[in-house]
Amino acid sequence: MPKSYDVAFVTSNVNKYEEAEKILAEFGIKLGHWKRDLIEIQDDSLRKIAVQKAQDAYNQIEEPLIVEDDGLFIDSLSGFPGPFSSYVFKTIGNNGILKMIGDNRDAQFVSIIVFRDAHSYTSFESKVAGIISKNIQGEGWGYDPIFVPENQTKTYAELAEKNNLSHRYESLKKFANWFKNKQG
């Protein structure tokens, strides 16, 4: 029986999968979901973390796949939480972040998609600049209720078009263009 998808997305985060599925559908790529907890090394490099996750995922499912790692980098906190964003969100959440930052609210969201198959890794990185809001706004997941992308007045959580301007969208768009050319 043939696969019903073009590439697998390995993640335990259903929200990430649902966003990626909608985004890649715009490019004609059908995404499969393998819900797995992956080894996440502690490192200050999102790329190293994502590559390790891709290797772990490939060891588990042995088919072409993508993984994603992202981080919120806040200027006034010297880039914190950065690659530790998931852990920080689980421990102190958005309220904790809002209590930590001062007047400089500049930040950027970074996303790295890593494609892995039997032969190689290829990574796709994107960054979206913005600011941290003064309070939680909207009902989104993760840091979406506190991140206002550049040239916007609303948080990711409040934006209907978030999937068209997010850090994840930009990385997935780069991946999609590369993948479609590769399939040829």
Longest Cα–Cα distance of the chain, Å, equals 57
Is residue 6 flagged as an active site residue?
no
Can you tell me whether residue 68 is helix, strand or coil?
A: strand
Catalytic residue among 69, 70, 106, 144: 69
User: Beta strand 106-116 with 121-132: parallel, antiparallel or unpaired?
Assistant: antiparallel
- The phi, psi pair for 26, rounded to 5°, reads -60, -25
- Enumerate helices (H) and strands (E) in the chain, giving the number of each: 5, 7
Can you tell me whether residue 5 is helix, strand or coil?
A: coil
Residues annotated as part of the active site? 69
